[in-house]
Structure 1
Amino acid sequence: MEFRLLKTFVTTTKLSSFTKAANDLGYAQSTVTNQIQALEEELGTMLFERLGKQIKLTKDGEHLYAYANQILKLSDEAKDLISSSLIPKGSLIIGTAESLCLHRLPGVFNTFRSRYPKVEINLHFDTGSDYRTLLRKNTIDIVFFLDVPCNENDLITHVLFEEPMAVIAAPNHPLAKKRQVIPHDLSGQSLILTANGCSYRRIFESILAQIGAKPASVMGVSSNEVIKRFVCDGWGIGFLPHVVVSQELKNNQLIALPWAGPAFAIKAQLIYHKDKWISPALRAFIDITLTAFKTAGT
């Protein structure tokens, strides 16, 4: 039995009139008549006694009416349940670097929280080079990270923008006087870099290794603020996203060395597994992020 036929039957019964049912449902009266006849033919029984312009349920009609009401009620409840499930709620686990969270994502989070306050956001900062593993294990839902473009077949990647990087030093550092700084200039220098596993540390060290530049020492630090402080104090040369050190550069606490080596080509990317179920909450986060950076033109 089709739901539309049952709905017509129930409406006709409640209003005790084919004409009133047609008006209520937005049908022609002939449509209501045809639908009731189709239902009677399917069931092999008469549902209404027709006495002139008056109609009255038969015994079979009374039995069907009781069930039809329940069927339509359950149908409406199912629709309401499914519709409500399409509203973003639940939780999201987002992997990202702390620097990106502080300098690139606040606008995204503000928009998302204002629209979908029922979604719980959990941030996972310890992604590093393990983001692929975490996505494949479904430990995190999505990653916002810096790296060379990801071309893994089982991962969906949205490249958002190129992240400008800065090779930084204290203003009184000997290399600050050079008009150009190339990788060989970092041979014998002390480096203050992010911790092992950081994608852009890996890229920076790879560039140095390719041309044989050998730093005197490398200190790995997990905090950008500590890196900036150590570089300011003359402990060595650092390498961080330009946006992270913009205030210190403006205040002349640090300088960006005039890098003339290979381009870093570090991209900000949004990535998730191709087989990941895109929940309404995750879809909303992806859409807001893509829109935010497209609009910003960053």
Structure 2
Amino acid sequence: MSMIYSQIRAFHAVASHGSFTRAAAALSVSQPTLSSQVKALEAKYEVDLFIPAGRGIEITPLGRRLHAITQKQFRLEAEAELLLSETRSLKAGFLRIGADSPYHALPLVARYQERYPGIEISMNFGNSRDTLADLMARRIDVAIIPPPPEDDPRLISQLLIADRLVAFVPKAHKWAKQKSVNLKRLAGTRVILREEGSTTRAVFEAAVAAAGMTLKDVFEIGSREAVRAAVVEGLGVGVVSEAELIRGDNIHVLPISGADLRVPEHLVCLAECAPQRTIKAVFDLLED
């Protein structure tokens, strides 16, 4: 504790209690120690903060002005201590989450909010590439995205959910009575995909390339909702994550055969931030 802080604290206690004796008892120090700290403060700035008054003391006009400031100072100090204490116990705090899909993220967020209602949560959604960039730039605390490179020591990740890609067509489509569709047939028709940088597109294009094929025709749309709307309008065959697909009577879902199209979603954070209580608590939920 710095000397000036000790002296200010001593002054504040005397001004608040109106007595050196009561102030010393409140701070659990001896009265001579307290008196010497106040006198040192007065001597340092060549001022009088208290003057004798009968058998007691009286605060000076300057002392009253200083006391008004120290009241604010120690109130804010108490608030800061309370904030840190409550954050440690997860009664208060902040958590910023980024995800490439609300469908994977929101169930976890709901569990977290139920267990820690005092934690304020903000969420951003974007494609997996942008979400990872936000994490690396510390614009978010945790990310829900496909697994990052295993050899990156800056990151810690844990499996959240294992999803898969599916195709879907409008009910009037010629494939609407099929139970599934082969990857080769799918690559030979117009497919509707999210923008580059999305997990769906990366996984699907990688599977097509691994099978030694190329896509015949890609209709790119920037959101999963728009992909569904385009399929309903007959603009092509949609490919999306199964968990993200909004089902309905106007579409038919087709599992894709002939390729491994699993899409694991991981909870990811920076390794150096993993010990933070608000972040660690998210990962702990996956162990429950």
Change (3 A) 1:65 1:138: same
Matched, 1:95 2:98: yes
Give the match for residue 134 of structure 1: 134
SS in 1 for 2:191: strand
Q: What amino acid is aligned across from residue 261 of structure 1 in structure 2? A: G
Distance apart, 1:270 and its partner CA: 0.3
- Stretches of structure 1 that go unaligned for 5 or more consecutive residues are 1-62
Alignment identity in percent?
23
- The verdict on how the C-alpha distance between 1:141 and 1:127 changes in structure 2, with shifts beyond 3 A counting, is farther
Q: Normalized against structure 1, the TM-score is what?
A: 0.62
State the partner residue of 1:86: 88
Conserved? CA contact 1:149–1:267, under 8 Å: no
- Structure 2: runs of 5+ lacking an equivalent: 1-27, 35-73
- Cross-structure match for 1:30: none
Number of aligned residues:
217
- Provide the C-alpha distance between the structure 2 equivalents of 1:115 and 1:130, rounded to a whole number of angstroms: 29
Match in the other structure for 1:121: 121
| 2:164 partner amino acid | P
Offset at residue 160 of structure 1 (A) = 2.1
Alignment of 1:235-274 (within 5 A): 235-245=235-245, 247-248=247-248, 251=249, 253-274=250-271
Maintained 8 Å contact 1:183/1:213: no
1:200-231 alpha-carbon deviations (Å, 9 max, x no partner) = 21110111123343334212222222211211
Q: Distance in 1 between matches of 2:108 and 2:119?
A: 14
Note closer, same or farther for the CA distance 1:277–1:206 as it changes in structure 2 (3 Å cut): closer
What is the RMSD of the two structures over their aligned residues, measured on CA atoms? 3.2
Q: 1:21 is matched with which residue?
A: none
User: Pick from 258, 278, 282: which aligns with 2:279?
Assistant: 282
Alignment of 1:1-298 (within 5 A): 65-66=30-31, 83-88=85-90, 89-98=92-101, 101=102, 103-145=103-145, 147=146, 150-151=149-150, 152-178=152-178, 180-245=180-245, 247-248=247-248, 251=249, 253-276=250-273, 278-288=275-285, 290-291=286-287
Counterpart of 1:227 in 2: which secondary structure?
helix
Q: Which residue of 2 aligns with 1:56?
A: none
**Letter paired with 2:265:** A
Contact 1:97/1:126 (<8 A) preserved: yes
TM-score of the two chains, using structure 2 as the length reference: 0.64
DSSP-derived class of the 2:97 partner: strand
What letter matches 2:100 in structure 1? A
CA shift in 2, pair 1:81/1:188, >3 Å: closer
